[in-house]
Copies of this chain bind each other. A is one copy, B any other.
Amino acid sequence: MNNDDLFLARAIELAQNGSELGEGGPFGAVIVSDGKIIAESWNQVVVSRDPTAHAEIMAIRQACAAVDRFHLPKSTLYTSSEPCPMCLSAAYWAKIERIVFANTRAEAAAIGFCDDQLYSELNRHFSARSIIMEHHPMPNGLLPMQQWANNPQRTPY
């Protein structure tokens, strides 16, 4: 086994353990930096009653806590399945360098997960989505953004 195989095998093992315990869906993830695992997690939506507790989100939060930074450059996310758009976006925000996944979104769809559909939803204009979305501009709405942009002490992320 090469390293990619080893780390993916661990992600799959975490997926299996977590779902056997009833903690959530059958998904696991590890984050590797400098050849070492710095975070490993699994889907905990059910046990934590947290819809954002996907394996990848949990692993990213854990890895950032471990390094005490909100970016994870030069790290790889190994995940048992192709990330949903929430988790993929989180990987971008975290500046993860590389993602390796075993199963596809089509394979997840075959057992009832809507990841594939969610990618299509996100690609629609906000007025054409299944979730009701309304743009409601406010008189002072832009003020916090303008103040942030003009603050020399701001921390971009």
Interface residues of A (CB under 8 A from B): 4-5, 8-9, 12, 15-16, 19-20, 22, 24-28, 45-46, 48-52, 57, 60-61, 64-65, 68-71, 80-82, 84-86, 88-104, 107-108, 111-112, 114, 118-119, 121-123, 126, 131-138, 140-149, 151, 153-157
Contact = CB atoms under 8 A, between A and B. Distances in A.
A55 to B, nearest CB: 11
Nearest to A121: B92
Contacts of A137: 102-103
How many copies of the shown chain assemble into the complex?
2
B102 A141 contact: yes
A78 B89 CA distance: 21
Given A118-B92, A132-B97, A149-B112, A51 B70 contact: yes
Contacts of A4: 134, 136
Given A9-B140, A52-B52, 12 more contacts: A8-B138, A16-B147, A26-B145, A85-B89, A86-B89, A89-B89, A98-B132, A99-B134, A101-B135, A102-B136, A103-B145, A104-B135
A18 to B, nearest CB: 8
A105 to B, nearest CB: 9
Q: Give the one of A24, A91, A92, A153 with max B CB within 10 A.
A: A92
A156 B22 contact: no
B85 A85 contact: yes
A134 B100 contact: yes
